[in-house]
Amino acid sequence: MACGASGRVAFRPMRLVIARCSVDYAGRLTAHLPSAPRLILVKADGSVSVHADDRAYKPLNWMSPPCTLKEADGDVWTVENKGGEKLIITLEEVMHDSSHELGVDPGLIKDGVEAHLQELLADRIETLGEGYSLIRREYPTAIGPVDILCRDADHRTVAVEIKRRGEIDGVEQLTRYLELLNRDPHLAPVKGVFAAQEIKPQARVLATDRGIDCVVLDYDALRGIEDDKLRLF
């Protein structure tokens, strides 16, 4: 993903490579994947991930953007991030190599409950804390809209992701938004709030590890049926 002279976001094609390869990671830790057939994804945002056929959606190894990919004679790929960490992919046999223009994804369409939670929380943003103020709902970014963007009592920018059921995918989604928003000097530093009617333990652990606050939403309370205080954990 890149920004052209006109200011429009240009999306690079996604590249899919199926190859017999070995993978080495060099950084804070070292890891080695021996030779085997694998799927390599090079996404429009610059990320590179290596997948096996038995791990569902989770990659064996990956490099998140911003990072650079260099191909040496087509046989050795070196993916390096700003911290100097490297993912080195040695291709032994390429069985498939194709690129596809996917364009801008419209994002996940929220169900009625999630949409109503967003509306209610935006209207009563002060329930997140005294002194909170709303910037806007559905704040647009290059990778999709942030549910709620607001400011806390100290005038720090806060990005809120709302789910009916809070799982790891939602935390990952908010993490991507925070990485992008924190590049904007007019908004940074931006902190995150992951809000849901129910938050899975694994999602809570991941959010806490990334400095993201978790908020359990009470749908009835937000509608004024019960006590209107949110439970923060």
Rounded to two decimals, the pTM is 0.52
Q: Mean pLDDT highest for which of 102-106, 117-121, 177-181, 226-230?
A: 177-181
pLDDT at residue 108, rounded to an integer: 57
pLDDT at residue 68, rounded to an integer: 92
Helix 168-181 × helix 201-209 angle, to 10°: 20
Contact 37, 95 (CB under 8 A): yes
| List of residues 6+ apart from 64 with CB closer than 8 A | 47, 81
Looking at per-residue confidence, does 1 or 116 come out higher?
Answer: 116
pLDDT at residue 110, rounded to an integer: 54
Contact 46, 26 (CB under 8 A): no
What is the share, in percent, of the chain residues with pLDDT greater than 90?
61
* pLDDT, average across residues 103-129: 77
Looking at per-residue confidence, does 58 or 232 come out higher?
Answer: 58
Instruction: With a cut of 70, say whether residue 111 has pLDDT above it.
Output: no
pLDDT at residue 3, rounded to an integer: 45
pLDDT range class, residue 9, cuts 50, 70, 90? very low
Mean pLDDT for all residues in the chain: 86
pLDDT range class, residue 114, cuts 50, 70, 90? confident
Question: What CATH code is assigned to 111-221?
Answer: 3.40.1350.10
Q: What class does CATH assign to 12-98?
A: mainly beta
Start-end of CATH 2.70.180.20 domains in the chain: 12-98
What's 123's DSSP letter? H
Start-end of CATH 3.40.1350.10 domains in the chain: 111-221
pLDDT at residue 101, rounded to an integer: 87
Instruction: With a cut of 60, say whether residue 232 has pLDDT above it.
Output: no
pLDDT at residue 117, rounded to an integer: 86
Pairing of strands 157-166, 190-199: parallel
pLDDT range class, residue 112, cuts 50, 70, 90? low
Q: Which residue has the tokens 């908004």?
A: 187
20-54 pLDDT, tens digit each: 999 999 987 889 999 999 999 999 888 999 999 88
129-169 pLDDT, tens digit each: 889 999 999 999 988 899 999 999 999 999 999 998 899 99
pLDDT at residue 175, rounded to an integer: 95
What does the block give as tokens for 26? 């060099």
Instruction: With a cut of 60, say whether residue 5 has pLDDT above it.
Output: no
Nearest one of 224, 74, 81 to 61, comparing CA atoms: 81
Backbone angles phi, psi at 158, to 5 degrees: -130, 125
